[in-house]
């Protein structure tokens, strides 16, 4: 049986939203495309210790590190692995499909996301994509 899994970790310290997606695209670009019908994506955000409350290092502050914002950035960056949507246009009376820039996020049926204190001022995102 062929293992249908890809994973990587990338440094996102100090990056703005668009730059986070681009950093993920670079890492995903060296991974092979997984030939699966459905996917499970597991994300771990290693946040800088300064993003956690000083009174309790297990409680994150509410800021850019909100999972809902970070999940979208990751999904936008993993298109190379899960595939891209088709963009359709009519040419000479026929519909012709071409790859768009939008990932096939409809093929993701499960997302597990967590954030943890990195213990330093560095921030990372770890991504594991499994074909089901």
Is 64's pLDDT higher than 60?
A: no
State the greatest distance between any 2 C-alpha atoms of the chain, in Å, as a whole number: 66
CB-based contacts of 102: which residues, under 8 Å, 6+ apart? Answer: 79, 84, 85
Structural domains of the chain, count? 1
Tell me what percent of the residues of the chain surpass a pLDDT of 90.
51
Confidence at residue 2, expressed as pLDDT on a 0 to 100 scale: 57
**110: confidence class by pLDDT, cuts 50, 70, 90:** very high
For the stretch 21-48, pLDDT in tens is 999 999 998 888 898 999 999 999 998 8
**55: confidence class by pLDDT, cuts 50, 70, 90:** confident
Confidence at residue 77, expressed as pLDDT on a 0 to 100 scale: 93
For the stretch 82-100, pLDDT in tens is 988 877 788 898 888 777 7
| Among candidate residues 76, 77, 101, 75, the one with its CA nearest the CA of residue 87 | 101
Let me know the angle formed at the C-alpha of 82 by 76 and 84, rounded to the nearest 5 degrees: 65
52: domain CATH number is 3.30.1330
DSSP letter assigned to residue 71: H
What domain range includes position 89? 5-131
Give the Cα separation of 9 and 120 in Å (integer): 16
Strand partners, 96: 89
Confidence at residue 112, expressed as pLDDT on a 0 to 100 scale: 96
Q: Please provide the size of the chain in residues.
A: 132
Which tokens is 72 given?
């979208």
Average pLDDT, the chain: 88
End-to-end C-alpha distance for the chain, whole angstroms: 12
Query: Which of 59 and 116 is assigned the larger pLDDT?
Result: 116
Q: Do residues 98 and 86 touch, judged by C-beta distance below 8 A?
A: yes
């Amino acid at each position: 049986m062929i293992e249908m899994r890809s994973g990587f970790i990338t440094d996102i310290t100090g990056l703005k939203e668009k730059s986070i997606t681009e950093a993920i695209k670079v890492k995903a670009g060296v991974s092979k495309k997984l030939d699966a019908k459905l996917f499970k994506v597991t994300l771990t955000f290693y946040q800088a210790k300064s993003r956690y409350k000083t009174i309790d290092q297990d409680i994150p502050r509410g800021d850019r590190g909100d999972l809902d914002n970070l999940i979208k950035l990751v999904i936008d960056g993993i298109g190379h692995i899960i595939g891209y949507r088709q963009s359709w246009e009519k040419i000479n009376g026929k519909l012709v499909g071409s790859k768009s820039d939008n990932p096939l996020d409809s093929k993701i049926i499960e997302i597990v996301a967590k954030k943890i204190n990195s213990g330093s001022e560095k921030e990372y995102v770890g991504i594991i994509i499994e074909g089901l």
